[in-house]
Amino acid sequence: MAQQNPAPAGLRVGVVGGGCSGFSYSLQFDTSAGMMDKVFDMDGLKVFVDATSIMYLNGCRVDYVETLEGAGFKFENPNVKSTCGCGSSFNV
């Protein structure tokens, strides 16, 4: 975050339409929270979630993992009914 210009206020986590199964996760830095966003403080990091995405992310855990195949964010979402073969999208 320190390398971004302008410096972001937090991380936006969301769900967007698309992918083989219907939805995919979105992560991006944002300069401010939106009017309808839910704001969480995670060890000093502000996390913004829009009102629509909060329904799909309720109970979701996000972790950064490093494996032999690569590194990235892993979503453990109890709301997911199925995922696509490549694992990049899901259905609720």
- List domains and CATH numbers for the chain: 10-81 (2.60.300.12)
Rounded Cα–Cα distance for residues 75 and 73 (Å): 7
Provide the whole-model pTM: 0.82
Would you write out the chain's pLDDT as a tens digit for each of its 92 residues? 888 888 899 999 999 987 777 889 999 999 999 999 999 999 999 999 999 999 999 999 999 999 898 898 889 999 888 887 666 778 87
Residue labelled with tokens 């972001």: 8
Residue 14, C-beta contacts closer than 8 angstroms, at least 6 positions apart: 25, 26, 49, 50, 52, 53, 57
